Structure 1
């Protein structure tokens, strides 16, 4: 279960009500919310962990889910405030562009008259072209991003409903001799971006602090096929926060998040977008938030425990993901602090605890998903069958398999599959009888720890759980310990990772 109680209000309430209204897991809303709010802050703020170690609120987040699981509505809801603001910015730009066109026409006429006139007159001042303020982009090429970032020192959010093209693009650009992959790693750390172009007015574009947050979705099989060994070696995979939430059976509902909750989230995004840089020697610089003494103590304790976890990691890819979560723990704490108080100048112990706990959750989720990527065919089939039985309520008959799963077309194959699960200790047989008729009694397989007497998990019906609002994290600040958040649920639908 996604630990939404770690989030501050009003964001926690927005995620809870929106996911309940859509009928999806809370992580599907929470991940793009994190990226959106981190991008809204942009390079105006950074957290100082010690001299020389600054972390910007750049967040790359990806929801892994099949089609039809409501991932797109969740993605859209999380981005709505930024899209509304971007629409306003485009309107302002079009108006400014119209004024500029009129001004440039007057300038050219005046300059022409001055050249023809017998009396020398002061040269007219050439109008400056307006700049379009950008919050969102969809083009993932660095060549397209460079001029946008040069005009928008705050940074932008790359928001794509399907991230497959962005992930696959790293290989494509490298094969053409480009350096997009290396540039993107700089964008994650709000580092320096220098791009030399063959065309355009500015042949060299240099951005001191170039920041791009990322959010989107991808289907499980596509993720498995796209996330190659090269992406793990380059560090892309380690920087990508992932969640593969459990699927629920959809039910029609007329529910929606309340207008007050939506307004609260929109106001939070607006407050973060209003933050400004401080003037630096070479251009805009971030306001640097420091840790309170208690926060520094809590950070040190988590850092040491996390370092031991990295050292004990069983594979290089796991160690790399854990290493990047060091940065994310601090970034989460920064975002949480500014949600609660946009004028904050320090990060407190409570924000550090919650940021570290959220990083622990993402660590568990990454390890679980990486395990899915490394499955052999036999293990994958067994897991998929287990997950399908779980969705059916924890109890099935061989006939259920033959009628619903193409992998088991005959009764003998279904019986053998379930018998294999019994031998593996995953369940037991139960004789269900035959209702007083003739013939062999029906056997039913009961999954160990299953819910044989319950119905499959469903999304809440209209009005169900409407009053179940997450508790305010401020009221539970002493109840959330670092590392206390358990690993996510693993229930998934059969076939989701069929292309691994």
Structure 2
């Protein structure tokens, strides 16, 4: 890959990134502009919010703020939006929810104010609708009053039917914020046996959504849905994600997992959060929230198309070729699915990162430059590692106690003969161990050479 040029911005970001590394953070915080890095660092220092969770929440918040206002064009006819499905994984008490609330606070404030405004407009609408035609004429109001629309960014526990209806009123997009994301996928198909999971698979790909509502004269038709998802999940229930068809239809491959390896219980301290920190974050997000949107005569949003510079496109192409080379030698279909979905995500990351740099006044937003692609590569490699770790966690949790003991006792690098001996000590016969080893090569183990394996 190309050697990265030295810039003042790069030096600042590298210094900030090194500082983060000493805190045990794995998330590549240097993908963000220095202003956002400072916010992440300050809430860690003062509130003990884990850096990985705060950074991922901020990334998702920026994506939600972009909505359908901007799309990135990879090729003619191939555009991607900033839709992300993110899960913050950790044990109970790992302080996952607070960073998420901090990142989403600008949307909460916006939605609250819009709800107050909607209440006033709806009261006026009810008053006008109760008037006779003559009374409306005398009062100078519309002959046929229009029901007001509530503008919003956030939704929580909601059915696809209800979500489609709200989305139709908010074409720019919505964000599903589920504090316990397990409630999101556990509720799939709770009211029917058909389509909720398929609905979300379509949303991820921004395919048109058609919803036929009961007692409605017309269907809800959303030409380009935009609904990113974020929430928290405990490590011990990760296995629920792989139940049903979710592991075979690619659903789980679409989730970006944030799971720090080191999870220490937060310690209280006497450092106060700077007074301007929250307002600085709100100010940045307000710039996104207040972005002007153009609409056509049918009320459809007309997004701005962000292209890639020639240099950025070449670097992205180079990364994809390297990723494809890795896919060619993978023995695990599970990892293959993850690597393939990340080829979609890296394009979306380019858009989110470019827009975050624009928010902070570091660049324009009409074209993705090579610096944003470099940062997107860093972020993609991070999610590649966390996805592999989550898959291993799921695989291990589905093992018998005997198999778990064998995996735990195996050294990082072992021969077949050594594995047979360790398995025998746990009461597992040679043939059973060899079958277990063969079945899990590519998931729990990687074959280094003939007769030699490494634990993943």
**Shorter-chain TM-score: what band?**
0.7 to 0.9
How far, CA to CA, are the matches of 1:211 and 1:123 in structure 2?
A: 35
How far, CA to CA, are the matches of 2:134 and 2:228 in structure 1?
A: 44
The answer to whether 1:235 aligns with 2:250 is yes
- 1:150 Cα deviation from its structure 2 partner: 0.4
Partner of 2:212: 196
Identify if the C-alpha distance between structure 1 residues 107 and 19 changes in structure 2 by more than 3 Å, giving closer, same or farther: farther
1:62 to 74, 80, 87: 87
How far, CA to CA, are the matches of 2:27 and 2:141 in structure 1?
A: 64
1:160 to 178, 185, 197: 178
Instruction: Map Cα deviations across residues 417-458 of structure 1 (whole Å, 9 max, x no partner).
Output: xxx9xx9xxxxxxxxxxxxxxxxxxxxxxxxxxxxxxxxxxx
The answer to whether 1:334 aligns with 2:337 is no
Most deviating of 7-16 and 296-305: 7-16
How far, CA to CA, are the matches of 1:133 and 1:75 in structure 2?
A: 21
How far, CA to CA, are the matches of 2:372 and 2:352 in structure 1?
A: 9
CA contact (8 A) 1:45 1:277 kept: no
The answer to whether 1:273 aligns with 2:289 is yes
- 1:229 Cα deviation from its structure 2 partner: 5.2
Identify if the C-alpha distance between structure 1 residues 111 and 130 changes in structure 2 by more than 3 Å, giving closer, same or farther: closer
2:302 to 285, 308, 311: 285
1:345 to 349, 359, 366: 366
Task: Give the 5 Å matches for 1:321-400.
Answer: 321-341=338-358, 344-375=365-396, 376=399, 377-378=401-402, 380=404
Partner of 1:224: 239
Task: Give the 5 Å matches for 1:33-72.
Answer: 33-72=58-97
Instruction: Map Cα deviations across residues 441-498 of structure 1 (whole Å, 9 max, x no partner).
Output: xxxxxxxxxxxxxxxxxxxxxxxxxxxxxxxxxxxxxxxxxxxxxxxxxxxxxxxxxx
The answer to whether 1:145 aligns with 2:170 is no
CA contact (8 A) 1:22 1:74 kept: no
Partner of 1:213: 228
Match of 1:341, SS state, is: helix
Identify if the C-alpha distance between structure 1 residues 124 and 96 changes in structure 2 by more than 3 Å, giving closer, same or farther: closer
Identify if the C-alpha distance between structure 1 residues 348 and 125 changes in structure 2 by more than 3 Å, giving closer, same or farther: same
Match of 2:246, SS state, is: helix
CA contact (8 A) 2:149 2:169 kept: yes
Identify if the C-alpha distance between structure 1 residues 254 and 379 changes in structure 2 by more than 3 Å, giving closer, same or farther: farther
How far, CA to CA, are the matches of 1:105 and 1:227 in structure 2?
A: 53
Identify if the C-alpha distance between structure 1 residues 250 and 384 changes in structure 2 by more than 3 Å, giving closer, same or farther: farther
CA contact (8 A) 2:49 2:98 kept: no
How far, CA to CA, are the matches of 1:102 and 1:181 in structure 2?
A: 41
Identify if the C-alpha distance between structure 1 residues 339 and 107 changes in structure 2 by more than 3 Å, giving closer, same or farther: farther
How far, CA to CA, are the matches of 1:203 and 1:305 in structure 2?
A: 48
Partner of 1:436: none
CA contact (8 A) 1:133 1:152 kept: yes
CA contact (8 A) 1:107 1:126 kept: no
Instruction: Map Cα deviations across residues 368-423 of structure 1 (whole Å, 9 max, x no partner).
Output: 1111211233564588899xxxxxxxxxxxxxxxxxxxxxxxxxxxxxxxxx9xx9
CA contact (8 A) 2:70 2:304 kept: yes
CA contact (8 A) 1:272 1:338 kept: no
Unaligned runs of 5+ in 1: 115-121, 387-419, 424-500
Match of 1:233, SS state, is: coil
Q: Whose Rg is larger?
A: 1
- 1:49 Cα deviation from its structure 2 partner: 0.9
How far, CA to CA, are the matches of 2:56 and 2:126 in structure 1?
A: 41
- 1:146 Cα deviation from its structure 2 partner: 0.9
Match of 2:305, SS state, is: strand
- 1:43 Cα deviation from its structure 2 partner: 0.6
The answer to whether 1:309 aligns with 2:356 is no
Across the aligned residues of Structure 1 and Structure 2, the Cα RMSD in angstroms comes to 2.8
The answer to whether 1:20 aligns with 2:45 is yes
Q: When the two structures are superposed, what TM-score results if normalisation uses the length of structure 2?
A: 0.77
Q: When the two structures are superposed, what TM-score results if normalisation uses the length of structure 1?
A: 0.70
Identify if the C-alpha distance between structure 1 residues 196 and 320 changes in structure 2 by more than 3 Å, giving closer, same or farther: same
Task: Give the 5 Å matches for 1:68-83.
Answer: 68-83=93-108
CA contact (8 A) 2:176 2:228 kept: yes
Match of 1:217, SS state, is: strand
How far, CA to CA, are the matches of 1:202 and 1:384 in structure 2?
A: 60
Aligned length: 380
2:149 to 102, 117, 131: 131
Identify if the C-alpha distance between structure 1 residues 256 and 111 changes in structure 2 by more than 3 Å, giving closer, same or farther: same
CA contact (8 A) 1:57 1:332 kept: yes
How far, CA to CA, are the matches of 1:312 and 1:53 in structure 2?
A: 27
- 1:113 Cα deviation from its structure 2 partner: 9.2
How far, CA to CA, are the matches of 2:181 and 2:86 in structure 1?
A: 10
